């Protein structure tokens, strides 16, 4: 455990030092939120978001780029230095999800530099969503075929082998968390703070399972995200961008799957589930019943509309995330 904590501290300080010039670099290349109408993941105008976040115009986004670079390099370095006998396919799913979804998010970030998408090849939401599923099915297939994952742990029953059904379930979890994280990444420090709580829980699970390779990746990721959070808390100096939210969300799903505690994942990432659930419920209600369930969604935007200040929402979400994590750990360790 001491080795894991040492990697966490090292990752935190390296990332923290690098974020200072990196933020200046993002200003220079003008990777910043511009004075334009904000659109959601379905390319629809979100005036309520603009109302509460117009003062954030000019803040650079793209912090996920540095996190991906630092974590990837430190992971390879640490595995080599400490001679960790990591399963090659486990390393593949960790980094393929991390980098693959990150590149998909980077596409959206770069597209924001081109007003009205002029002089830029655009992909529709449907195509991007399909690419997410393709990546997720590749990852899920590797988990099932190459790593032998085909089970879920159910309290009272133990391990239940679900066979080939594991692949669509795992793919669903990966895509769901990638988009849930993206949805939750709307307030300063909200998503990154919740992620640290989730990663801490999975670090505890991986440590008891004696999975050193996974534990090292989680530790390095925690350190880098922790350094980012220092600059991301209200009022944020930098945001993750889609490159970071997609990469981190997908990685959270993969890490949960690698621990073998699928049921616990839903609880540990409970606030992300609530955020995504509120948006999904709103979409389905409008589509099939022609009316809204909530005045606005997701949940954090609903609370803003009702007068809650941004730091208040974030800190209470962290507290709720901590509670969900305890419940998730309970289900992970009992039985």
Express each pLDDT in 196-241 by its tens digit.
Answer: 999 999 999 988 877 888 999 999 999 999 999 999 999 999 999 9
Tell me what pLDDT residue 42 has.
47
Specify the length of the chain in residues. 335
Tell me what pLDDT residue 262 has.
82
Q: Which residue has the higher pLDDT, 129 or 263?
A: 129
Q: Is 281 helix (H, G, I), strand (E, B) or coil?
A: helix
Burial class (CB in 10 A: 0-12, 13-18, 19+), 223: buried
| Ramachandran quadrant class, 290 (left: phi over 0; alpha: psi -120 to 50; beta: rest) | left
Q: Residue 65 is part of which domain span?
A: 2-333
Q: What is the pTM of this model?
A: 0.91
Q: Is the dihedral of CA 322, 74, 138, 155 positive or negative?
A: negative
Q: Compute the C-alpha angle 127/129/133, nearest 5°.
A: 115
Q: Where are the alpha helices (DSSP H) in the chain?
A: 2-28, 47-53, 63-81, 88-111, 125-141, 166-184, 190-208, 212-232, 241-258, 262-268, 270-289, 299-305, 310-333
Task: Tell me how many domains the chain contains.
Answer: 1
Q: 239 - beta bridge partners?
A: 61
Alpha carbons 319 and 133: distance in angstroms, whole number: 32
Alpha carbons 227 and 60: distance in angstroms, whole number: 16
Averaged confidence pLDDT in the chain:
88
Which are the contacts of 237, defined by CB distance < 8 A and separation ≥ 6? 23, 59, 60, 231
Report pLDDT digits (tens) over 245-298: 999 999 999 999 998 888 888 999 999 999 999 999 988 888 888 888 888 889
Tell me what pLDDT residue 86 has.
78
Alpha carbons 101 and 186: distance in angstroms, whole number: 19
Q: What is the Cβ-side half-sphere exposure of residue 19, based on CA atoms within 13 angstroms?
A: 28
């Amino acid at each position: 455990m001491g080795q894991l904590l040492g990697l966490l501290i090292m990752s935190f300080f390296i990332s923290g030092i690098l974020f200072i010039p990196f933020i200046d670099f993002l200003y220079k290349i003008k990777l910043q939120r511009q004075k334009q109408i904000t659109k959601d993941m379905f390319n629809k105008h979100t005036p309520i978001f603009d109302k509460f976040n117009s003062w954030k115009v000019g803040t650079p986004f793209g912090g996920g780029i540095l996190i991906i670079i630092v974590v990837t390099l430190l992971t390879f370095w640490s595995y080599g230095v400490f001679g960790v006998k990591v399963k090659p396919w486990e390393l593949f799913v960790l980094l393929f999800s991390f980098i693959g979804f990150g590149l998909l998010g980077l596409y959206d970030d770069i597209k924001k530099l081109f007003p009205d998408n002029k002089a830029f090849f655009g992909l529709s939401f449907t195509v991007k969503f399909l690419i997410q599923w393709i990546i997720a099915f590749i990852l899920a297939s590797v988990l099932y075929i190459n790593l032998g994952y085909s089970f879920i742990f159910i309290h009272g029953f133990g391990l239940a082998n679900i066979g080939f059904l594991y692949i669509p379930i795992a793919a669903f979890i990966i895509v769901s968390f990638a988009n849930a994280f993206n949805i939750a990444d709307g307030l300063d420090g909200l998503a990154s703070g919740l992620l640290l709580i989730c990663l801490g829980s999975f670090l505890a699970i991986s440590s008891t399972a004696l999975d050193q390779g996974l534990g090292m990746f989680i530790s390095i990721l925690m350190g880098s995200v922790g350094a980012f959070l220092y600059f991301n808390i209200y009022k944020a100096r930098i945001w993750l961008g889609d490159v970071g939210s997609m990469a981190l969300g997908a990685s959270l799903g993969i890490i949960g799957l690698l621990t073998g505690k699928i049921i616990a994942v839903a609880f540990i990432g409970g606030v992300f589930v609530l955020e995504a659930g509120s948006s999904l419920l709103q979409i389905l209600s409008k589509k099939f019943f022609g009316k809204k369930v909530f005045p606005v969604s997701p949940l954090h935007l609903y609370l803003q509309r009702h007068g809650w200040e941004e730091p208040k929402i974030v800190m209470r979400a962290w507290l709720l995330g901590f509670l969900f994590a305890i419940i998730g750990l309970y289900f992970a360790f009992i039985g």
